[in-house]
Amino acid sequence: MISTESPGGTPAPQSQSWLSTLRRLPGFKVAIIAFFLVMLLSVGGIAAAQWQQSSTATIAVTAGAGGPHTSPVALGSAGSYLVLGGGGITSTGTTSVGGDIGVGPGSAIVGFPPGIVAGTTHTGDAAATQAQTDSLTAYNDAAARTPTAPNFAGDQNGKTLTPGVYHTAAAFALTGTLTLDAGGDPNAVFIFQVDAALNTAAASTIQLTNGAQANNVFWQVLGAAGTGASSTFAGTILAQGAITLGANTNITGRALTHTSAITLTTNTLTNPAAPVVSITGGATAPILGDQPRSLDSPRQLVPRLSWFIL
């Protein structure tokens, strides 16, 4: 104990902090070491659980049906266009296009404004010509794919389809909801080869689930393509014939035809390539460099507590 002399010569004990007193209690160091070991085991258990969870999530992604086996259709420069027509584009009402719009070899684009284009408008220029060349290449690529799934025909209402290449010699019809289930694989690809027309009814829906991305859905249509009023559509339409979007149809994707006209009516076209973050539940892999900082790692805890034990 450190002491000082009082004016009368009597040593005056210096007051001790509660921490110093606590450190001198019998068994204190043993208790602290035991507590510290429990903390280390707890941190290790949490890290192991996170590693196991992220490993499970990774396995679920790589094992998605069709994802590793079907490559997406390369659109080239046509990928930036949400509307690309060969014989002109006509819009009625306030249509919103979240990307480029173009026409070639024609040059007629009517209805913008009042329609809104987030990207660039190309009318018969070199960029539109190249986009049409790439669009035709993409169409031929999609048409040449070997079907990997059972042929589909008739009304697809109420059905759930997994990734793959689908083919039908008849027209495609949808009166309700068609679900495209990626099985947890965000890279899963859906290709639909339609050897006739594509038609969806009013208020019908293409629903994407379990990681399915509109940017990986392709509709190769030999004939004309049309959607009913107030419907919701997903994917890139690559059509030989004309494309008509019903009033108030929302499409996350593209409407591309290299030979015919496109008719729009107060539609909203959203860029499918735009980054979208969604959480649907289930295990997710942790993002490196973005871990919570509320719990220190064991290496951080050791230097901070060692002084307390000693």
Q: Where are the domains of the chain?
A: 19-62, 76-270
Indicate whether 69 pLDDT > 90: no
Residue 21's pLDDT is 63
- From the list 191, 207, 222, 194, the residue with the least C-alpha distance to 66 is 191
Residue 56's pLDDT is 37
Between these two residues, 88 and 22, which has the higher pLDDT value? 88
CA 234 remoteness from chain centre: 13
**Could you tell me the pTM of the whole model?**
0.69
Tens digits of per-residue pLDDT, 182-197? Answer: 999 999 999 999 999 9
Q: Can you tell me the distance from the alpha carbon of 1 to that of 16, in angstroms, rounded to the nearest whole number? A: 9
The answer to whether the peptide bond before residue 113 is cis (omega within 30 degrees of 0) is yes
| Encoded amino acid at 47, one letter | A
Average pLDDT score, the chain: 81
Between these two residues, 154 and 77, which has the higher pLDDT value? 77
Tens digits of per-residue pLDDT, 251-261? Answer: 999 999 999 99
Residue 24's pLDDT is 64
Using pLDDT thresholds of 50, 70 and 90, give the confidence band for residue 283: very low
Using pLDDT thresholds of 50, 70 and 90, give the confidence band for residue 36: low
Q: What percentage of the chain has pLDDT greater than the value 90?
A: 63
On the CB side of 18, CA atoms within 13 Å amount to 0
Using pLDDT thresholds of 50, 70 and 90, give the confidence band for residue 46: low
Q: Can you tell me the distance from the alpha carbon of 28 to that of 307, in angstroms, rounded to the nearest whole number? A: 14
Indicate whether 138 pLDDT > 60: yes
Indicate whether 274 pLDDT > 90: no
Q: Can you tell me the distance from the alpha carbon of 272 to that of 215, in angstroms, rounded to the nearest whole number? A: 5
By CB atoms closer than 10 A (0-12, 13-18, 19+), residue 96 is middle
Beta-bridge partners for 221: 194, 239
Taking residues 280-285, what's their average pLDDT? 45
Using pLDDT thresholds of 50, 70 and 90, give the confidence band for residue 286: very low
Beta-bridge partners for 85: 103
Residue 151's pLDDT is 86
